Structure formats: structure tokens, C-alpha cells
Amino acid sequence: MTPSRSALCAGGAGALLVALCGAPLCAFAARGATGAGAKEKQVLFIGNSYTGGMRAEFGKLIRSEKVKVKVEYICPGGRTLLQHSENPKVAEKIRSRKWDYVVLQEQSQTPAYFRGRFRKGAEALNRVISENGSKAVFYMTWGRRDGDKRNRSRAPDYETMQKLLTGSYETVGSELGILVAPVGRVWGEVRKKDRDLWKAFYRKDGSHPSAKGAYLISLVFHCLLFERRPADVRYNGALKQEEARVVKEAAAEILKK
């Protein structure tokens, strides 16, 4: 099974996103609201289309919540962490400043079936991140809505695929000392509470995040990286008030563990 080589992440969201590098490296910058007080945090996301699919919503959330942060993204479609680790431009970007956090998102199938490959890429990137004085964070992704159609024998349904992904992210995170943002766990917790809302987290392909899915991802990172309580977040994105309540409660339950 070869990971998809989909198109590079595209720009958007008006002036919030500014292209920094040409293909095949795709990076964007986003700033939250500025103001007096705390020092502006620096966050770099390295991933693929699952990262590209949340960046606009994350920008809206941090602006709404008035977070002092500069966020940049490297997210060409289908890219694995091992491929990122072999790209000198990625290492150059990591070393370009002392990031508070560098978020690592692996290709959506790789941790489930190729833990060794996942670990190798993560370890190489974490070495550069640590040497730069920054903190690596894993972006745990979610199982596909109907299982992995290309790998039915390994992941015939959502539950099986999520278990494989969760196990890999948490095991490798523990081995390498990398904090795990439990997006996939929160995704699954909502499934227990509201199956229809959970289904609405997916785009039609049953894989990539919809606007509602992007809100869940953004909420988890906002609360984990900036030490906020989900219940205190006023921004609800594309979610109705009751839907937002379910997501915030699920995030609170998982993040406190």
C-alpha cells in the first residue's frame, strides 16, 4: 500500500494565510490576535492534507479567542514524516527559529500498518526539533469512517483502525518522549455520545475532516498547547450550540486523562 500523493495544500482564508515556500514544500503563516501581556508563542505544524484541512479553522479559533501566537504550516498532500525528515527544507524551517511547539502529523495510514517507518521519521524530526530547543507534539489522527477500503484485512472498520492509530501514536510518543495531542481519542469519544455528529466530522470521502471535524481538531490543539479549558472557549465554528457542547465535553474528558 502506497500513501496517496494528493495535491499540495492550497492557500485560502484571505489575508490570514501567507505562502512562504514554493512546491513541493507548502507553508503558510497565521497570526492570532495581538495584545499586551504574554509572549507570543511560535508553533509549526508539519504534516499533510489532514493538517491542511484544519489550518483555516484553527486560525479562526485563535483569532476569536485572542491568542498571541504565530502559526506556520508545512502540509503537502500525502507526505509522510519520513519524507519530511529527508527534505532539507523542512529541517531548515525547524531551525529557522525557536518554536515553542512543532506538531508532527503522520500520513493517515502509516502509523496503523508501518509503525517502524512512522517511528523512524518521527525520531529523525524529533532530533532536529530537540537540538533546536523546541518541543515536538504528535497530532494523533482518526480512523476512516468506514474502515480502510484499501486495507480491509487490517482495518475493516473505524474501531479497528482507530485502535491501531492510537496504539502507535501513544507507544512511539512514550518511547521518544513526544507529547501526544489526542485528536483521534476525542474524535472517538464524540462517536460514543452522538453518532450523527461524528459522521459529520468527515468529508464525503470518509477520511478528511469537514468544517466540523476541523473545529474538533482546532479545539484540541488550542486547549493542549495554550492550556485552555474547552468549556471556556466561546468560538463554536460551524457547530450548533449543542454540537459544540458535546465536542467540548468530549475534549475535556480526554484531555484530563
16 — pLDDT class (breaks 50, 70, 90): very low
Average pLDDT of span 65-82: 97
Residue 10: inside a domain, yes or no? no
Domain contains 8: no
3-state secondary structure of 214: helix
User: Can you give the pLDDT at residue 153?
Assistant: 95
Contacts of 210 (CB under 8 A, 6+ apart): 200, 201, 202, 203
The reply to whether 54 falls in a domain is yes
pLDDT in tens, 18-50: 233 333 454 445 555 544 566 899 999 999 999
- Radius of gyration over every alpha carbon of the chain, rounded to an integer in angstroms: 17
pLDDT score for 257: 79
Any residues with CB less than 8 A from the CB of 104 and at least 6 apart, and which?
A: 46, 47, 81, 122, 125, 126, 136, 137, 138, 139, 178
Task: Supply the DSSP symbol for 145.
Answer: B
- Model pLDDT, residue 23: 38
Whether 9 is in a domain gets the answer no
Tell me which residue of 199, 183, 200 sits closest to 251, measured CA to CA.
Answer: 183
Tens of pLDDT, residues 228-257: 999 999 999 999 999 999 999 999 999 997
In a domain, 188, yes or no: yes
More confident residue, 25 or 216: 216
- Total tally of structural domains belonging to the chain: 1
Report residue 245 as a C-alpha cell.
Answer: 457542547
Give the model confidence (pLDDT) of 106-150 as tens digits. Answer: 999 999 999 999 999 999 999 999 999 999 999 999 999 999 999
Residue 133's Cβ-count burial label (10 Å; 0-12, 13-18, 19+) is: exposed
Domain that holds residue 43: 16-255
CATH code assigned at 80: 3.40.50.1110
**Confidence check: pLDDT of 12 > 80:** no
- CA dist 26 and 47 (Å) reads 10
Say what percent of the chain tops pLDDT 90.
84
- Share above pLDDT 70 across residues of the chain, in percent, rounded to a whole number: 85
Residue 7 lies in a domain: no
**Set of cell numbers at residue 125:** 524530526
Task: Please check whether residue 250 lies inside any domain of the structure.
Answer: yes
Q: Is residue 196 part of a domain?
A: yes
Determine how β-strand 27-31 pairs with β-strand 18-21. Answer: antiparallel
Q: Which residues contact 58 (CB under 8 A, 6 or more apart)?
A: 30, 71, 214, 217, 218, 221, 222
